[in-house]
């Protein structure tokens, strides 16, 4: 039995990542053609949310139902998780009653501790450090619209946050060049830069990062848990909005992605977000469903090996 977790993209090889993306594309076609199978019949997904979510909750819950299984939503408000039961105890108990668990939480150490005590696969549905499920969807979306990202140039404009870190891991696994532009003081984690240094560069100028890019991505300026910094971040990030003028520096057929939710008029202009010739954010959001179905099938199938 191979118990595999998905705490960051680094838990997959390049080959496995590619296989999951290809499977996600097939699952999407099957669903759109009305073909549904139930390979995860009677399987149960535990979903622990310590932060808010729309896309992640709906995509995991709908995905599990489509695969023939079911999902249980667990929040700290109404479980013992919010009353101080040790994370390792929670992991041991929840994993005895479920087949797979996803967690959205704050510190990355929390999900690492949960995974170390869990007897079933654990999926990172966002921590302060990484958001790898979103990258599965983003890569799938690029492949569907433009083909393989290998050899392409991607620009990340904005905060050196959890999404940025997952883009950095994706750059190494998919072999694309990642040019990051962030305000001084908001750079990504130095250790993640070091791990991916052959694929990643960091600057403080959005024009420089976007020049020659095939794919431009951004995210909110203040992530969940940073609400009290919103005002100061709006000032620091003022020159980092992705809009048509910035996209004009990119390659002619460049696409724009955003994990959503978006703050129109802050990190992205309303006009660009709504310009479906460039912005592929709605396909990107939908692909959370397909990519995570492929991920869950991969992790559960690994258990049989
Ligand atoms: N992109 C994303 O993870 O969205 P939610 O916060 O709505 O789940
Ligand atoms: N960086 C954002 C992503 C939301 C999906 C956050 O952590 O809030």
CATH topology of 9-130+288-304 equal to that of 134-284?
yes
List, chain by chain if needed, residues with CB within 6 Å of any ligand 1 atom.
Answer: 53-56, 126, 134, 259-260
Q: Assess whether the C-beta atom of 56 lies below 6 angstroms from ligand 2.
A: no
pLDDT at 250 over 90: yes
Between the CA of 261 and the centroid of ligand 2 the distance, in Å, is: 8
Give percent of the chain above pLDDT 90: 99
Residue 126 Cα: closest atom of ligand 1: 3
pLDDT for residue 11: 98
The predicted-structure confidence for 123-166, as pLDDT tens digits, reads as follows 999 999 999 999 999 999 999 999 999 999 999 999 999 999 99
CA nearest 240: which of 162, 156, 179?
156
Reply yes or no on whether the pLDDT at 79 is more than 80.
yes
Contacts 24+ apart (CB under 8 A), 296-299: 296/40, 296/45, 296/63, 296/64, 296/67, 296/100, 296/123, 297/23, 297/39, 297/40, 297/67, 298/4, 298/16, 298/19, 298/20, 298/23, 299/4, 299/5, 299/6, 299/100, 299/121, 299/123
Give the whole-angstrom CA distance, residue 11 versus residue 47. Answer: 20
pLDDT of 194 reads 98
Percent of the chain with pLDDT over 70: 100
Per the CB < 8 A criterion, the answer to whether 20 and 48 are in contact is no
Ligand 1: distance of its center to the CA of 221 in Å? 15
Instruction: Output the CA 18–ligand 2 centroid distance in Å.
Output: 24
Output the average pLDDT for the chain.
98
Active-site residue list: 104, 131, 134, 219, 259, 288
pLDDT value at 1 more than 80: no
Stretch 230-257: mean pLDDT, rounded?
98
- pLDDT exceeds 80 at position 173: yes
Q: Looking at the domain covering 9-130+288-304, what would its CATH class be?
A: alpha beta
Regarding the beta carbon of 220 and ligand 2, being less than 6 Å apart is answered yes
Name the residue with the closest Cα to ligand 1, atom 4. 55
Enter the CATH code of domain 134-284: 3.40.50.1370
Q: How is the chain split into domains, by residue range?
A: 9-130+288-304, 134-284
pLDDT of residue 108: 98
Q: What is the pLDDT of residues 15-42, one digit of tens each?
A: 999 999 999 999 999 999 999 899 999 9
Interatomic CA distance for residues 87 and 28, integer angstroms: 35
């Amino acid at each position: 039995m191979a118990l595999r977790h998905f705490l960051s993209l680094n838990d997959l090889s390049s080959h496995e990542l590619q296989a999951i993306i290809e499977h996600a594309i097939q699952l999407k076609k099957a669903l759109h053609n009305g073909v549904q199978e139930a390979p995860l019949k009677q399987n149960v997904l535990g979903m622990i949310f310590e932060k808010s979510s729309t896309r992640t909750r709906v995509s995991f819950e709908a995905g599990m139902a489509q695969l023939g299984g079911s999902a249980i939503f667990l929040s700290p408000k109404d479980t013992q998780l919010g009353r101080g039961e040790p994370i390792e105890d929670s992991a041991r108990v929840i994993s005895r009653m479920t087949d797979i668990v996803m967690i959205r939480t704050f510190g990355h150490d929390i999900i690492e501790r949960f995974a170390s005590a869990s007897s079933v696969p654990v999926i990172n549905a966002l921590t302060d450090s990484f958001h790898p499920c979103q990258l599965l969807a983003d890569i799938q979306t690029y492949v569907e619209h433009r083909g393989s990202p290998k050899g392409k140039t991607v620009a990340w404009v904005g905060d050196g946050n959890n999404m940025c870190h997952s883009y950095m891991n994706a750059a190494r696994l998919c072999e694309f060049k990642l040019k990051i532009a962030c305000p001084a003081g908001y750079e990504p984690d130095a250790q993640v830069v070091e791990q991916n240094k052959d694929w990643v560069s960091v600057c403080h100028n959005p024009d420089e990062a976007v020049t020659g890019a095939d794919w431009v991505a951004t995210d909110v300026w203040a992530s969940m848990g940073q609400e009290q910094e919103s005002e100061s971040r709006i000032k620091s990030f003022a020159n980092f909005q992705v809009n048509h003028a910035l996209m004009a520096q990119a390659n002619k057929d460049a696409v724009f992605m955003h994990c959503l939710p978006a703050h129109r008029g802050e990190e992205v202009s309303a006009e660009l977000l709504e310009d479906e010739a460039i912005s592929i954010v709605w396909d990107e959001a939908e692909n959370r469903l397909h990519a995570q179905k492929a991920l869950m099938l991969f992790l559960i199938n690994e258990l049989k090996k």
